């Protein structure tokens, strides 16, 4: 019977190992998910960037990229977890509970930036039995 060869964390670069969940569920969740979030929070508080500034935009972009990789790693670590399934399910639930509100907020922000009225020319064309009517 063939055995599945597991990737060792040392055989790949750090980001690949994190992305693939090769550090294990506990390390990925607690160190890169929870502790990483605390470090980001303290760092952002220390910077105290002005809302809307370029620094704020860069920091938020970096934070989003970090959490994207960390959450994928947690999910992958949960897929590879061989212990009690309850921990894998809870880890995935925590990822969903963290991502859904951010996704909803992002969609609301995106919708708010859309123009309410079409920006093209305003005209109307109606075809009926009498003929064609154009309004400009």
Q: What percent of the chain has pLDDT over 90?
A: 52
3 pLDDT higher than 50:
no
Q: Are 76 and 20 in contact (CB under 8 A)?
A: yes
- Which residue has better confidence, 11 or 48? 48
- Which residue has better confidence, 8 or 51? 51
DSSP sequence for 87-134: HHHHHHHHHHHHHHHHHHHHHHHHHHHS-SS--S---EEEE-SS-EEE
Q: Which two tokens stand for residue 1?
A: 């019977």
* pLDDT tens per residue, range 110-128: 888 877 665 655 665 666 6
Alpha carbon 24 to chain centroid distance? 21
What's the pTM? 0.73
* pLDDT tens per residue, range 54-103: 888 898 899 999 999 999 999 999 999 999 999 999 999 999 999 999 88
**Domain locations in the chain as residue ranges:** 9-135
């Amino acid at each position: 019977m063939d055995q599945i060869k597991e990737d060792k964390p040392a055989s790949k670069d750090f980001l690949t190992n994190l992305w693939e969940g090769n550090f294990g569920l506990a390390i990925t969740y607690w160190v890169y998910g929870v502790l990483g979030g605390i470090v980001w929070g303290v760092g952002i508080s220390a910077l105290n960037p002005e809302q809307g500034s370029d620094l704020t935009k860069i920091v938020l972009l970096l934070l989003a990229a970090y959490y994207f990789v960390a959450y994928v790693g947690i999910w992958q670590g949960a897929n590879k977890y061989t212990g009690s399934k309850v921990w894998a399910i809870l880890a995935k639930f925590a990822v969903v509970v963290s991502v859904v509100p951010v996704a909803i907020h992002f969609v609301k922000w995106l919708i708010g930036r859309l123009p309410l009225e079409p920006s093209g020319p305003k005209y109307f064309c109606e075809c009926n039995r009498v003929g064609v009517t154009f309004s400009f």
